[in-house]
Structure 1
């Protein structure tokens, strides 16, 4: 009887693991020849797999990263895997507003098109501060991408139809924004969750502002992915999470599928400002669809990054 229970437990664990790791794959085969794609943090994880997928479709792919050595290594790998030599790296640090402004100045001087902007880079639940004294999660995950997108918006409008894809996470549902303390930096997971909720509001307000101007925006939850986000933590925590990720998380290639889907599919344009998961529109908590909060966050973000 003991052996029977052991077998049943192992079978149940296997089935749960398979269920947790199920993901749809993007089946759209559209080519992107002549299109320019910019991906933040494209030197590893979901970003790198997205870069490979879009380079395979013929796009000119630019990786915006702060670590030059890792980025150049990723560029070589992406070129080898995609057989597309039109892949390059440009330096940018999302934790530094001056770096973002310099990047955008260089980009606008050198690049005549921007068809797809993928705001992929992100910081996990860490309690740290950016060079501009913003909490690291809010500063990088939201404010950095907010400034980047706004500074590149003229080029996006010139390249229409164009798209902005913001990577978020379903953990948004565990927090709400506090406009008295947008720089909240006490509990790591809550800090991260607030930044991911900000990504959703940002997407919705961007879609509203650019409505009818040929630019569409989408928020994507890629699933729980076996990426290298644990590098910010202790060795023991990394070891523990590697076991958990192996059992329940999906591969980076699988995690990139919804991003690719929103980058190429014509179907998604009917859901401008929408939230996507598993290559299809997904439901949001009611408070995450509050247009008033989205507008208020946009205005607050303009002041914080000195765009207003």
Structure 2
């Protein structure tokens, strides 16, 4: 199995001084490590988190290794349309440009909960990031080389997009079925955003990444193997099978800062089944390259969120 040290690593992150990044879900796991490494390389980082208390703890932890970092916090609950708009307004008022918008935050809920008649997982993982991106896109376009990075998952391969049944009235709800659907939607969104940016002649690009299997709070709060592998008593046994949060963040970071990355690319670990390894460009499942589905998803998200990217 290829280790992260044999390929692109944190040592390859270019100097980020003068650049501004917004990272959602930055208080723990992949998001925290992404924010930390960007800050350590000089970036100004906005930590967009559901809990400001946890965000403050994360900020202090980052300052332990990046004492000169410019860090700010904003409350962002992606399951709340009001919170998304308030957070975007706060960030937009604070920043004149965003070089990196990293949509990392996500969730997998064990029980079906509806928000305005829509599965909470889909709202949190798809509609919230869509609206947040749309509202902040003018700031991304104001950067000389802005990027939107969407964090997906290898589970997108099992995703089945049914936009006519976002409340699961026609089938049994399952945590991972809902999660896989949302992660497929994340990829479709990223690729559609790139097509629209290119068609509009914009310099900004949209890319995607997945962390593989990493021992994070997300894993501990999930079911099945990821929960077992992330639990402290068994983590040492599972260590050969899963990546650390820092290693899992590397595909996201490469997608965000590697100057050779091109719009519409997808990055993930290069090891067995993409579980762990050095970050490299990977091929998504064919279902994620369905341009008709991505266009339909975009239109559906616009209708459901009320957010429209007029310039695209």
TM over 0.5: yes
Structure 1 residue 160, shift from structure 2 partner: 2.7
- Segments of structure 2 that go 5 or more residues without pairing to the other structure are 270-278
Larger radius of gyration: 1
Once residues 260 and 136 of structure 1 are traced to their aligned partners in structure 2, the CA distance between those partners, rounded to angstroms, is 27
Checking the alignment, whether the CA contact within 8 Å between 1:169 and 1:221 is kept in structure 2 is: yes
- Tell me what 1:268 maps to: 261
- Segments of structure 1 that go 5 or more residues without pairing to the other structure are 1-18
- Seen in structure 2, the aligned counterparts of structure 1 residues 74 and 218 have a Cα distance that, compared at 3 Å, is same
Once residues 131 and 177 of structure 1 are traced to their aligned partners in structure 2, the CA distance between those partners, rounded to angstroms, is 18
Once residues 240 and 106 of structure 1 are traced to their aligned partners in structure 2, the CA distance between those partners, rounded to angstroms, is 38
SS of 1:98's partner is helix
Which stretch of structure 1 is more off in the superposition, 25-34 or 199-208? 25-34
Which stretch of structure 1 is more off in the superposition, 221-230 or 27-36? 27-36
CA offset digits 1:166-219 (Å, max 9, x no partner): 110011111221122134370111100000000000000000111130111111
Once residues 68 and 114 of structure 1 are traced to their aligned partners in structure 2, the CA distance between those partners, rounded to angstroms, is 21
- Tell me what 2:245 maps to: 252
Matched, 1:215 2:209: no
Once residues 21 and 133 of structure 1 are traced to their aligned partners in structure 2, the CA distance between those partners, rounded to angstroms, is 44
- Tell me what 1:36 maps to: 20
1:173-212 equivalent positions in 2, closer than 5 A: 173-184=157-168, 186-211=173-198, 212=201
Once residues 254 and 239 of structure 1 are traced to their aligned partners in structure 2, the CA distance between those partners, rounded to angstroms, is 19
Once residues 129 and 205 of structure 1 are traced to their aligned partners in structure 2, the CA distance between those partners, rounded to angstroms, is 28
Checking the alignment, whether the CA contact within 8 Å between 1:20 and 1:248 is kept in structure 2 is: no
- Tell me what 1:286 maps to: 286
Structure 1 residue 106, shift from structure 2 partner: 1.4
Once residues 32 and 57 of structure 1 are traced to their aligned partners in structure 2, the CA distance between those partners, rounded to angstroms, is 5
User: Structure 2 length as normaliser, TM-score?
Assistant: 0.86
CA offset digits 1:77-107 (Å, max 9, x no partner): 0111122330121111111001000111111
Checking the alignment, whether the CA contact within 8 Å between 1:126 and 1:232 is kept in structure 2 is: no
Checking the alignment, whether the CA contact within 8 Å between 1:95 and 1:132 is kept in structure 2 is: no
Once residues 253 and 219 of structure 2 are traced to their aligned partners in structure 1, the CA distance between those partners, rounded to angstroms, is 24
Structure 1 residue 239, shift from structure 2 partner: 5.2
Checking the alignment, whether the CA contact within 8 Å between 2:108 and 2:178 is kept in structure 1 is: no
1:137-156 equivalent positions in 2, closer than 5 A: 137-156=121-140
Once residues 56 and 19 of structure 2 are traced to their aligned partners in structure 1, the CA distance between those partners, rounded to angstroms, is 21
Matched, 1:77 2:77: no
- Seen in structure 2, the aligned counterparts of structure 1 residues 95 and 281 have a Cα distance that, compared at 3 Å, is same
Structure 1 residue 230, shift from structure 2 partner: 4.2
Structure 1 residue 295, shift from structure 2 partner: 0.5
- Tell me what 1:297 maps to: 297
1:130-141 equivalent positions in 2, closer than 5 A: 131-141=115-125
Pick from 100, 103, 121: which aligns with 1:116?
Answer: 100
- Number of residue equivalences: 288
Instruction: Give the alignment's Cα RMSD to 1 decimal.
Output: 2.3
SS of 2:22's partner is strand
Once residues 91 and 226 of structure 1 are traced to their aligned partners in structure 2, the CA distance between those partners, rounded to angstroms, is 25
Structure 1 residue 108, shift from structure 2 partner: 1.1
Checking the alignment, whether the CA contact within 8 Å between 2:112 and 2:173 is kept in structure 1 is: no
SS of 2:23's partner is strand
- Tell me what 1:127 maps to: 111
Once residues 45 and 290 of structure 2 are traced to their aligned partners in structure 1, the CA distance between those partners, rounded to angstroms, is 34
Segments ≥4 residues shifted beyond 2 Å: 19-29, 124-134, 182-185, 230-234, 236-247
Checking the alignment, whether the CA contact within 8 Å between 1:61 and 1:86 is kept in structure 2 is: yes
Once residues 161 and 224 of structure 1 are traced to their aligned partners in structure 2, the CA distance between those partners, rounded to angstroms, is 30
